Amino acid sequence: MNTTTKTALLILATCWAAQGTAAEWHYEGPHGVEHWGEQFVTCAEGVNQSPVDITETLSAELAPLHIDYQGQVSELVNNGHTIQANVSGQNTLTIEGETFTLKQFHFHTPSENTIQHKHYPLEAHFVHANPQGNLAVIAAMFESGPRGNPALKTLLTRLPKNGDRITLSDALSPVSLLPREREYYRFNGSLTTPPCTEGVRWYVMKEPQASTPAQTSALQEIMGSNARPVQPLNARVVLQ
């Protein structure tokens, strides 16, 4: 393993550790969003931070997202910041000749990314990594609807309390939480949680899924409001 790969994997491990440690940061209070930069410099000084408000875009010939999720959700974890779904089996994203493996997906209420200044009630982030440790995140929005999402209903049957995890017995493919239409917005960004590491490829799906108010409320009641405010776009361009 070369030095570049070791460094990338170390960054990846640090990101997972920071997401899973509830005591180091929060969304409110003395360790809330406005204080993240005191412990995690990139959160304050990074110039390619996420989330963003998608308003002006540049039309481009974007490569299709080849999503091949053959596995299933294996467990739900409440890490004190979000409800995270861990997966098993082979679940890959291939884009522009590179293949990324799905590591986990998790939820934010309300949405972190916004489109034309609009927050959606719920956003899911599907976090992928390639062998070099580079990250790619697919973001799926959920808007309020009377029927909701059947897969989301199954997922929310029982939610773990803070620090707990639940093994799932029902076979549930993570692809069932993604929209069928795969058009997306593309930009370079960061993790939306400390250490706010940059170099993350973002793919925000255009077509929203549906969640009932009860489904969204169930998540928000156990997670709280866990959306980082939108960050300056600076010199970046959002492609579509």
Which active-site residues does the annotation give?
81
Reply yes or no on whether the pLDDT at 22 is more than 90.
no
Per-residue pLDDT at 169: 84
Instruction: Assess if residue 68 is contained within a domain.
Output: yes
Instruction: Assess if residue 169 is contained within a domain.
Output: yes
Instruction: Assess if residue 229 is contained within a domain.
Output: no
Tens-digit pLDDT profile for residues 88-132: 999 999 999 999 999 999 999 999 999 999 999 999 999 999 999
Instruction: Assess if residue 239 is contained within a domain.
Output: no
Q: What is the pTM of this model?
A: 0.91
Tens-digit pLDDT profile for residues 184-223: 999 999 999 999 999 999 999 999 999 999 999 999 999 9
**Percent of all residues in the chain with a pLDDT value above 70, rounded to a whole number:** 90
Instruction: Assess if residue 115 is contained within a domain.
Output: yes
The backbone torsions φ and ψ at residue 177, rounded to the nearest 5 degrees and listed phi first, read -105, 10
Tens-digit pLDDT profile for residues 122-169: 999 999 999 999 999 999 999 999 989 999 999 999 999 999 999 998
Amino acid sitting at position 92: T
Per-residue HEC secondary structure of the chain comes to CCHHHHHHHHHHHHHHHHHHCCCCCCCCHHHCHHHHHHHCHHHHHCCCCCCCEECCCECCCCCCCEEEECCEEEEEEECCCCEEEEEECCEEEEECCEEEEEEEEEEECCCCCEECCECCCEEEEEEEECCCCCEEEEEEEEEECCCCCHHHHHHCCCCCCCCCEEECCCCCCHHHHCCCCCCEEEEEEECCCCCCCEEEEEEEECCCEEECHHHHHHHHHHHCCCCCCCCCCCCCCCEC
Counted domains in the chain:
1
Instruction: Assess if residue 231 is contained within a domain.
Output: no
Tens-digit pLDDT profile for residues 72-88: 999 999 999 999 999 99
Per-residue pLDDT at 171: 87
CA 60 to chain centroid: 24
CATH of the domain at 144: 3.10.200.10
Tens-digit pLDDT profile for residues 33-58: 999 999 999 999 999 999 999 999 99
Instruction: Assess if residue 238 is contained within a domain.
Output: no
Instruction: Assess if residue 232 is contained within a domain.
Output: no
Closest C-alpha among 201, 193, 2 to residue 93: 201
- Domain containing 203 equals 3-223
Per-residue pLDDT at 118: 97
